[in-house]
Amino acid sequence: MKKIAAVIILVAVIASVGFGAWYLANSPVPYSSAPEAITIGTTPTMSASLIFIAEEQGWFTQNGLRVTVKTFETTLPAIAEMKKGGVDVATTTEYTIVTEVLKKESIVLIAGIDRQQTTYLVARKDRGIEKVSDLKGKKVGVVRGTIQEFYLGRFLDLGGIRLQDLVLIDLKLPEQVDALVNGSVDAVQIPNVSINQVEERLGNRATVWPSKPDQVAHIVMASTADWTARHPEAIRVSPVVEEILQGKNGPSE
């Protein structure tokens, strides 16, 4: 049975390398047994499109899975819901996994599905912010306790200032763009899906910095140790995908 890790990795390969037509032409015979029900918790980010593409194209069903997708604002509630059994598998960042491990939570990383530049720091030029040092004393919106705050702190350290030099405002994702545009904050740490909104509404009044310019974030799929122990077949990489990953199979030149 082609399993959840196989499907997601394969979707990532298709999306990034253009394997779509090749895969569809070489896809296996649809799975004939009763599909296994799995609930995936994900976030409204570009990497989540891999999940919805797989669902729309029927790749989950073809590989013996009946998937229900639940969306969450950030990875924190997705992981919290997974730990209490509300979802079976969650997409998240490596930062969240490390945080859970440090708390000694029994979290298992199943597969990596994407690498991306996930966050940007956007500031208002008309508030006198054109270089990193100008952020001192300014109100900066960020979702506290997430990878956004981690990247913001690292970005500031590299720029020679500290988080303590800012006035941090805990903002939910849907609030961030409006807060920056209406002036209730001077800058925001936002995900990549929001960057176009800000640039459209502020135009040349926006100063934009990639918060993690030298290292991409890794988007992964994770579950609890208990769930993975009870569903070993649901996370096994199929021989087809193993051949692709090892370069033994793929589209002809």
- 223 and 133 in a single domain? The answer is no
Model confidence pLDDT, tens digit, residues 20-51 = 434 434 444 444 456 788 999 998 777 778 88
- 107 and 50 in a single domain? The answer is yes
Range of the domain at 175: 119-210
Whether the pLDDT of residue 250 is over 60: the answer is no
- 78 and 9 in a single domain? The answer is yes
Average pLDDT over residues 50-78: 85
Q: In terms of pLDDT, which residue wins out, 249 or 125?
A: 125
Most confident of 174-188, 205-219, 221-235: 174-188
CATH number of the domain residue 157 falls in: 3.40.190.10
Global pTM reads 0.60
- 229 and 202 in a single domain? The answer is no
Q: Quick check: is 14 in a domain?
A: yes
Average pLDDT over residues 132-158: 89
- At residue 236, the pLDDT reads 67
Whether the pLDDT of residue 115 is over 70: the answer is yes
CA dist., res. 85 & res. 153, Å (int): 32
Q: Determine the 3-state secondary structure of 172 from DSSP.
A: coil
Residue percentage of the chain with pLDDT more than 70: 76
| Residue 1 CB partners (closer than 8 Å, separation 6+) | 31, 33, 36, 63, 64, 233, 236, 238
Q: Which of 30, 43, 35 is nearest to 4 (CA)?
A: 35
Whether the pLDDT of residue 203 is over 50: the answer is yes
Count of domains forming the chain: 2
**Least confidently predicted of 38-42, 52-56, 164-168, 222-226:** 52-56
- 130 and 186 in a single domain? The answer is yes
- 123 and 108 in a single domain? The answer is no
Q: Under the phi-then-psi rule, with left for phi > 0, alpha for psi from -120 to 50, and beta for the rest, what region is 164? A: alpha
- 102 and 124 in a single domain? The answer is no
- At residue 237, the pLDDT reads 55
